[in-house]
Amino acid sequence: MHLPRTAAAATTALIIIILTAADIQISTASPNQQLPNFTAVIIFGDSTVDTGNNNYLPDAVFRADHPPYGENFPTGQPTGRFSDGKLLPDFFASILGIKQLVPPFLHPNLSDSDIRTGVSFASAGTGYDDLTATIAQAISMDEQVELFEKYVVRLRSIMGDDAAKETVQGALVAVSAGANDFVYNYYDLMTRRLEFDLSGYQDFLLSKVQTLVKRIYNMGGRTIVVGGLPPIGCLPIQMTVELQNPLERRCVETQNLGSQSYNAKLKKLLAKLQSSLAGSRVAYSNVYDPLLEMITHPTKYGFVETKQGCCGSGLVEMAALCNAESPSCGKEMASNYVFWDSVHPTSTAYQILATNLSQQLASALSSASPPSS
């Protein structure tokens, strides 16, 4: 059961939508490695891959359906994407040659073409822990799988059973979640610290990951990429919340170490899952290193600012997201920033990650057996 909107909204300053790893980074591919010809892109996760589903949740705590979000989107309008423009699923779908934009499944006017080529079930504020979704009044991961089931039903009505099965088996399925769980329930609100130490909470979440991957596999998904955690302690909001002097802008290293230890466990889990799920290709995505590289060596990528977002620029951000009154560095200057708001990357940063992602995913899949039924 979700919290009342008023109660959930009261926690907004500390409830953070975290960059998680639909930003799929694995290992650098050689020039002759090619990505498979995927039939569709199917996305599960949080705000980093929510292309607008929260627009259709009347009680969702987090929404990006207002300016200045979307300033650099092709239409110049907010779409529910938590950035100034496109998100990583959009860039990656374009790189794969599937389509330019990945629509939210809850959009009321999805075309048959949208369904055939894939959608996002993601919801800003969610996580593997059901408590995380409850706090944010977001779509839980279990509920996202239920939406996937509805998607498959419609896909069958459009294409027939056999073609729909081939489409799902040939799709790239990406899962981006986990960081909200740590910020909501361990680092900031600390709800789960009453039950778990850090390692125990990591294991609790990994059991959820395992169940999710198996459910997706049982519904026909064969190429499944699961993202690890980013350097949580380098998010501008965490610098503000966790440091005694919020004007001292530096990464919170204890949180970064927590991300690293979780990622090591996740990588091992996914390797075991692939070996146990016949015909699957289950890949770990390492967003931690490339994002930290952009933050640590910004000029190498054309960035100037790494410790605060473009939206809210000049302020020590105490809220995760921007509202219509938030000051902005300006749409032309956004490309100088790694972060758009105090949590989410700019569209420029996402594009860099997507390019890197496509090379690294090719490398990861080149050594895996082709998926089969």
Can the peptide bond before residue 68 be classed as cis, meaning omega within 30 degrees of 0? yes
CA–CA dist 175, 241 (Å, integer): 27
CA–CA dist 351, 92 (Å, integer): 8
What residues does 337 pair with on adjacent strands?
305
Rounded to the nearest 5°, which phi and psi values hold at 224? -125, 120
Q: Cβ distance 43 to 106 under 8 Å?
A: no
Task: Characterise 18 by phi-psi region: left (phi > 0), alpha (psi -120 to 50), beta (else).
Answer: beta
Please count the other Cβ atoms lying within 10 Å of the Cβ belonging to residue 106: 19
Q: Cβ distance 27 to 364 under 8 Å?
A: yes
- Check the CA dihedral 286-197-236-102 and report its sign: positive
**Cα 312 to Cα 83, 178, 325, 336, distances in angstroms:** 13, 25, 9, 14
Tokens of 256: 């970064």
Closest CA relative to residue 190, chosen from 242, 125, 243, 264: 242
Closest CA relative to residue 151, chosen from 208, 110, 91, 93: 110
- Check the CA dihedral 285-353-234-125 and report its sign: negative
Greatest distance between any 2 Cα atoms in the chain: 60
Residues involved in catalysis: 47, 341, 344
Closest CA relative to residue 135, chosen from 266, 259, 228, 13: 13
Please count the other Cβ atoms lying within 10 Å of the Cβ belonging to residue 5: 13
